[in-house]
Amino acid sequence: MVAVAILAAGKGTRMKSDLPKVLHSLGSKTLVERVLDSLDGINVERCLVVVGHQADLVRSRLADVTINGKSLEFVEQTEQLGTGHAVQQVLEPLKDFEGDLLVLNGDVPLLRPSTLQSMLSSHRDAASAATLLTAQLSDPTGYGRVFCDESGDQLAVQEIIEHRDCSPEQRNNNRINAGIYCFRWADLSAILPNLSNDNDQQEYYLTDVLAQLRPAIAVDVEDPQEIWGINDRVQLSAAYQVLQQRIKEKWMRVGVTILDPASVTIDDAVELVADVVIEPQTHLRGATKIAAGAIIGPGSTVENAVIGADAKVLHSVVMDSEVGPSTRVGPFAHLRGNAVTGEGCRIGNFVELKKTTLGDRTNVSHLSYLGDATVGNRSNIGAGTITANYDGVNKHKTVIGDRTKTGSNSVLVAPITLGDDVTVGAGSTITKNVQDDALVVARSRQMIKPGWRLKSRPSTEKPSGKSQ
């Protein structure tokens, strides 16, 4: 049985923020959510989060998170007296627990689930009382140093000494403590109450227990990036780059083309397939799904959207919407609020679609706004067509049939229905429903007064016909 304690009580002073450190976003998730993600595949019996600084905020932001179908348990550490003191807070809630306790820092967001799983199996295979993740860093400054006996097949831990408590010679040890541990709870809980704070920071260090638990083993991680702790915004952005690199590499191996990965960002939950092309300066966010042959970008943002096969989205924004197969969007179009296009549509320059459904092969090519509208198949919405859908209080629907054409600068005052095969004259303001097959023109007639300019001016001002 595995219980987890996530240490998340600290303020994170170096973030220089009103927000507690563990709630800072790293892409689409907070730091602490990413730590919880690293528990994937582990059969967690109980998951306790030690909160302190802005405890209520952390609690409320994690209220809906479950692990193995169970809610998180929050334990308050009212004063932050050190990592050992933080783990002491779970003594009471875990007093009847038997099994292993996994301790994770709330600010270590890059840990892969496979790394935790293999640490757990090493722990079990060695029947260890304590197992910790370590890494050998070229610059170990700031981390606790792990001193081991390397003579056996395993790294037997002797003790951990915090950087600030190390002698200059001890600082040459480059094996560092990642702050990720697995303890046999019966052994840890027996000695945890006896920690002392006799050290440079006068804190109760969790690391002190490693000198007392036997056997204790260290497991070096292969990829030291995984154990990066985030203390400031520079490290936050470096961690983001690592996550992005992992995501983009994953999709490139699946068969997605991303020629300029440095200018592209892709959220964790995005789903791509082989033969999607992501052009530069493009951002894929939320629960976006893109089908084969689609070309997204350059310069597009696609969020919570479904993009059909062979569609193109050029310099455009698509949010909470669906682009049908072989539809071309952009440049400079904006689909939002559940806009849905059919197959082979064309959504062109400076067009906004909101909560609008288009049938197949319907074009809205320039300078139009369609909101709360339904348009059939093979219709053509002329340049500058606007659905006047909002009367200042309520939104109203526009319904347009198949093969209907609106002239340039048409205003369709909703609620309104245009049938099939309707033609709307340019510049019309349509306020009444139009039946199938009709031509509708609703604008003032053109009036011509021949010779008007000459008559309206005194004869002395007649132009000479020559420029001066």
Nearest residue (CB) to ligand UD1, 135 versus 345: 135
Structure tokens at 211: 């000198």
Least separation in angstroms between CB 82 and ligand UD1? 5
Work out whether 148 is an interface residue with ligand UD1 (CB under 6 A).
Answer: no
181 is an interface residue for ligand UD1 by CB under 6 A:
no
207 touches ligand UD1 by CB under 6 A: yes
Instruction: List CB contacts of 434: < 8 A, sequence separation 6 or more.
Output: 417, 418, 419, 422, 424, 440
| Listed residue (339, 251, 358, 362) closest to 296, CA to CA | 251
Binding segment for ligand UD1 (CB under 6 A), chosen from 105-113, 256-264, 352-360, 427-435, is 105-113
62 or 400: whose CB is closer to ligand UD1?
62
Q: Does 109 bind ligand UD1 (CB under 6 A)?
A: no
Q: Is 174 exposed, middle or buried (0-12, 13-18, 19+ CB in 10 A)?
A: middle
Under the binding rule (CB under 6 A), the answer on residue 205 touching ligand UD1 is yes
Using the contact rule CB under 6 A, the part of the chain among 177-185, 210-218, 300-308, 442-450 near ligand UD1 is 177-185
The four Cα atoms 319, 320, 325, 331 give a dihedral, to 10 degrees, of -10
Window of 199-207, 253-261, 265-273, 287-295 that interacts with ligand UD1 by CB under 6 A: 199-207
Contacts with ligand UD1: how many residues (CB under 6 A)? 28
Nearer CB in complex with ligand UD1: 8/302: 8
Residue 65 CB-half CA count within 13 A: 22
When asked if residue 106 is in the footprint of ligand UD1 (CB under 6 A), the reply is yes
For ligand UD1, the closer of residues 205 and 369 by Cβ is 205
Q: Does 330 bind ligand UD1 (CB under 6 A)?
A: no
> CA–CA separation, 48 vs 50, rounded Å?
6
**C-alpha distances in angstroms, 104 versus 83, 188, 294?**
11, 15, 41
Q: Which is nearer to ligand UD1, 81 or 329 (CB)?
A: 81
Query: Closest approach of Cβ 15 to ligand UD1, in Å?
Result: 11
Helix (H) or strand (E) holding 252: helix 233-254
Our CA angle for 316, 336, 393, nearest 5°, is 135
Q: What is the enclosing helix (H) or strand (E) of 120?
A: helix 113-125
Helix or strand or coil: residue 374? Answer: strand
Measured CA to CA, the distance from residue 142 to residue 339 in angstroms comes to: 51
DSSP per-residue string spanning 407-441: PTT-EEESSEEE-TT-EE-TT-EE-S-B-TT-EE-
Distances (CA, A) of 183 to 34, 138, 164, 222, 314: 22, 28, 25, 21, 53
- Among 30, 38, 88, 105, contact with ligand UD1 (rule: CB under 6 A): 105
77 vs 300, which CB is nearer to ligand UD1?
Answer: 77
Collapsing DSSP to helix, strand or coil, 301 comes out as strand
Task: Determine, following the binding rule CB under 6 A, whether residue 206 of this chain makes contact with ligand UD1.
Answer: yes
Contact call for residue 144 and ligand UD1 (CB under 6 A): yes
For ligand UD1, the closer of residues 50 and 270 by Cβ is: 50
Among 67, 129, 160, 294, binds ligand UD1 (CB under 6 A): 160
Q: Is 85 in the site for ligand UD1 (CB under 6 A)?
A: yes
| Nearest CA-CA partner of 296 in 102, 273, 383 | 273
Quick note: the x/- pattern for ligand UD1 over 239-258, rule CB under 6 A, is --------------------
Kindly tell me which residue out of 3, 4, 5, 9 binds ligand UD1, with binding defined by CB under 6 A: 9
- The yes or no reply on residue 115 touching ligand UD1 (CB under 6 A) is no
From 7-15, 123-131, 402-410, 418-426, span contacting ligand UD1 (CB under 6 A): 7-15
Applying CB under 6 A, among 15, 38, 82, 344 the residue interacting with ligand UD1 is 82
**Identity (one letter) of the amino acid at 449?**
K
In the complex, what is the shortest distance from the CB of residue 221 to ligand UD1, in angstroms, rounded to a whole number? 12
Choose the catalytic residue: 24, 123, 334, 366: 366
- Closer of 109 and 371 to ligand UD1 (Cβ): 109
Active site residue 366: yes
Task: Answer yes or no: are the C-beta atoms of 357 and 335 closer than 8 Å.
Answer: no
91, 97, 100, 102: CA torsion to nearest 10: -50
Which CB sits closer to ligand UD1, 107 or 187?
107
| Interactions with ligand UD1, residue window 42-71 (CB under 6 A) | 50, 52
Work out how close the CB of 174 gets to ligand UD1 at its nearest, in angstroms, rounded to a whole number. 12
Q: Is 69 exposed, middle or buried (0-12, 13-18, 19+ CB in 10 A)?
A: exposed
Q: Residue 244, class by beta-carbon neighbours within 10 Å (0-12 exposed, 13-18 middle, 19+ buried)?
A: middle
Question: Is 10 an interacting residue with respect to ligand UD1 (CB under 6 A)?
Answer: yes
Q: In what order do the strands lie in the sheet with 265-266?
A: 265-266, 283-285, 301-303, 317-319, 334-336, 352-354, 369-371, 386-388, 411-413, 429-430
Determine if 140 is a binding residue for ligand UD1 (CB under 6 A): no
Beta-ladder partners of 413: 388
The residues annotated with a catalytic role in the active site are 366
Using CB under 6 A as the criterion, which residues of the chain lie in contact with ligand UD1 when the complex forms?
7-10, 50, 52, 77, 80-83, 85-86, 105-107, 143-144, 160, 162, 176-179, 205-207, 229
